[in-house]
Amino acid sequence: MIRENLNQWDFVVAAYVVGIAGTLAMAVWAWQTMRSAEKRRDKVRGKVRDKVTRK
Amino acid sequence: MHAFANPTRFLKLASWLTPLLLVSGLVLVALSLVWGLFYVPPDRLMGETVRILFIHVPAAWLGMGGWTAIAISSLVYLVWKHPLAALAARASAVPGMVFTAICLATGSIWGRPTWGSWWVWDGRLTSMLVLLFLYAGYIALAQASARDGGSYKIPAIFGLIGAINIPIINRSVVWWNSLHQPPSITVGKSAIDLAFLVPLLIAVLGFSLLFGGVVLARMRALLADFQAEARLRRKAMEAA
């Protein structure tokens, strides 16, 4: 039961901002760390392969 | 399951499954949130604040689901010693912790207009807060064991012991007096009107797909780090 004169939409908007911002930040972070880790691995593999080919 | 324990096979599958899960999850989440925000009628008792349901419930479900994934993967690791099971457990920790934090934050925001309080120390809220601390402890432990090049055994045991908290969270509203409402959805039954239930199920599905995509992305990142480190170590040994 709502007893206080609060604007309910303020709470709805705050919850959606927290939920959407948290979820999007996590998804972008996971994607970017994956891409940079895979790039680093491919770079390391490529360098090793280059040296083996040169030998 | 054993077939997917092969990293090459896993990477072949994950290369197309990761973007598919992330994009389909984002589309369903956007659809359900727009539906929940603009097309769902206000509730008789909770008024407009009922719309918080479409973020709070999936976040709670995935906070608990993340730890369930850690416990199952840890068990698989301890029994069959699959390295990918250890990666799956580690990869589930950050998204599980993020969703637990979102669940606590949105629950607190929802509690203020409906209960008149941002926080109460009852069984459901306290056990959910304990889950957040368990995630923090697990992430620290898993990072320390990976950094020291040690075995994944200790984080796996911690993951299994921490799973005791999951049924406590689930049954807390039944075992103890609580301001939090009892479960509205049980196996085969729902006390929620269809006007709320349909967008809620779409939200749960969308957030779950997104969770799956983030776990796969984390697994690929951890695997790539491991492979790069192994290659550099081998190179250094060859040079020595």
Residue of A11, A18, A27 lying closest to B214 (CB–CB): A27
Local mean pLDDT, 10-residue blocks, chain B (240 residues): 72 93 97 94 88 96 96 95 91 97 96 90 93 96 84 92 93 80 71 87 97 97 90 85
Give A1-55 as a DSSP string.
---S---HHHHHHHHHHHHHHHHHHHHHHHHHHHHHHHHHHHHHHHHHHHHHHH-
Which site among B39, B220, B231 would you substitute to test the A interface, given the most A Cβ atoms closer than 10 Å to its Cβ? B220
Could you tell me the two tokens for A51?
């040296």
The answer to whether the CB atoms of B94 and A26 lie below 8 A apart is yes
The answer to whether the CB atoms of A34 and B116 lie below 8 A apart is no
- Distance from C-alpha of B2 to C-alpha of B82, rounded to nearest angstrom: 8
The pLDDT of residue B192 is 80
Cα diameter, chain A: 80
The pLDDT of residue B184 is 72
Q: Is B101 on the interface with A (CB under 8 A)?
A: yes
Q: Is the backbone of residue B237 left (phi > 0), alpha (psi -120 to 50) or beta?
A: alpha
- Distance from C-alpha of B143 to C-alpha of B163, rounded to nearest angstrom: 19
SS3 B186: strand
Angstrom CA distances, B112 to B45, B107, B127, B176, stand at 14, 9, 19, 21
CA distance A13 to chain B (A): 9
Could you tell me the two tokens for B170?
């689930």
The pLDDT of residue B234 is 86
Chain A residues whose CB is inside 8 A of the B214 CB are: 26-27, 30
CA distance A37 to chain B (A): 5
Say yes or no to pLDDT of A55 above 50. Answer: no
The pLDDT of residue B159 is 96
Chain A residues whose CB is inside 8 A of the B224 CB are: 34, 37-38, 40-41
The pLDDT of residue A47 is 59
**Tens digits of per-residue pLDDT, A1-12?**
555 678 899 999
Predicted TM-score of the model (pTM): 0.90
The pLDDT of residue B206 is 97
| Long-range pairs for B163-167: beta carbons < 8 A, 24 or more residues apart | B163/B67, B163/B68, B163/B70, B163/B71, B165/B67, B165/B127, B165/B130, B165/B131, B165/B134, B166/B64, B166/B67, B166/B68, B166/B71, B166/B131
Q: Is B27 on the interface with A (CB under 8 A)?
A: no
The pLDDT of residue B4 is 58
**Tens digits of per-residue pLDDT, A19-52?**
999 999 999 999 999 999 999 999 988 855 555 5
